[in-house]
Amino acid sequence: MVWAQTRPMLKKLLLSLALLSCIAAEGEERARLLAAKRVHNLYLVEGRDIVVQYSLHNVGQAAAINVQLTDAGFSAEDFDIAGGQLQVKFDRIAPNANVSHTVVVKPKNFGYFNFTAAEVSYQPSEDSAEIQIGYTSEPGEGGIIAFRDYDKKFSPHVFDWLIFALLMIPALLVPFMMWFNIKSKYTITSRSKRKAD
């Protein structure tokens, strides 16, 4: 009796379970990209290279198709591109795989600059029509130092050292000549036995 009553309920339960698992399975077969943008430099200096690394990690179950990475944060009037491209495309990123991309830029001005996120767009699976848009992590605000200040601290200062050496020569030479003259009076050379006085 109890069994007959629970039969339709059991059927319903099984059906809902099947449906749920179907949905769940479908939900899982998606690619999911985590994108990071990192500024690699320790010092950001005007006129010198800044290395920017982008890394895309696929944490989903399916491959990400048609991945496009676009960085609109480095405008042409503030930055020169010294290497790499600001727009790159990856055909496919397999699940649990990651790709990385590097761009080298040279800032034209100094001051505070806000490094903004780059945009990533991809198809979450082979047969999905929608394009998923995401953004990378933002490095945040960085201070680009003026070249003069950086140079003052880090350049080898060869010219300054040469001038210093030149200026030190009389200061060293005069005492040396004094000593040498006195010493040579008391040195016994091989020719004469002894010098008078």
Partner 1 sequence: QYVAFAQEDEVEGEEDDLIDDEEVNVDDGTGVEVEATEGEEEEEEEEEAKGSPDADTIILFTKPTGTGAELPAGKIVEFLVGFTNNGDKDFVLDAIDASFRYPMDFSFYIQNFTAIPYNRAVKPRQEATVMYSFYPAEAFAGRPLGLTINLAYHDADGNVFIEPVFNQTVSIVEIDEGMDGETFFLYVFMLAFAVLLLVAGHHFLSSFGRKKGSKKTVVEMGTNKKDGVDYDWLPKEVLNDLKKTPRQSPQQRKTKRVASSK
Rounded to the nearest 5°, which phi and psi values hold at 118?
-95, 160
Alpha helices (H) in the chain, listed in sequence order: 2-28, 147-154, 158-186
Q: How far is the CB of 110 from partner 1 (least distance, A)?
A: 25
Q: How far is the CB of 125 from partner 1 (least distance, A)?
A: 15
Q: Check residue 52 and report its DSSP letter.
A: E
| Closer residue to partner 1, CB minimum distance, 25 or 59 | 59
| Closer residue to partner 1, CB minimum distance, 33 or 103 | 33
| Closer residue to partner 1, CB minimum distance, 135 or 164 | 135
Q: How far is the CB of 61 from partner 1 (least distance, A)?
A: 12
Q: Is the dihedral of CA 17, 21, 23, 27 positive or negative?
A: positive
CB half-sphere exposure, 129, CA atoms < 13 A: 0
Collapsing DSSP to helix, strand or coil, 105 comes out as strand
Give the number of other Cβ atoms within 10 Å of residue 130's Cβ.
8
Q: Using alpha carbons, list the distances in angstroms from residue 144 to 109, 151, 155.
A: 8, 13, 17
Q: How far is the CB of 177 from partner 1 (least distance, A)?
A: 30
Using CB under 8 A as the criterion, which residues of the chain lie in contact with partner 1 when the complex forms? 32-36, 38, 55, 57, 59, 117, 132-138
| Closer residue to partner 1, CB minimum distance, 122 or 150 | 122
Beta sheet of 79-83, edge-to-edge order: 33-39, 50-58, 98-107, 79-83
| Closer residue to partner 1, CB minimum distance, 10 or 131 | 131
Q: How far is the CB of 12 from partner 1 (least distance, A)?
A: 23
Q: How far is the CB of 9 from partner 1 (least distance, A)?
A: 24
Determine the Cα–Cα distance for residues 72 and 36; give it in Å rounded to an integer: 15
| Closer residue to partner 1, CB minimum distance, 55 or 102 | 55
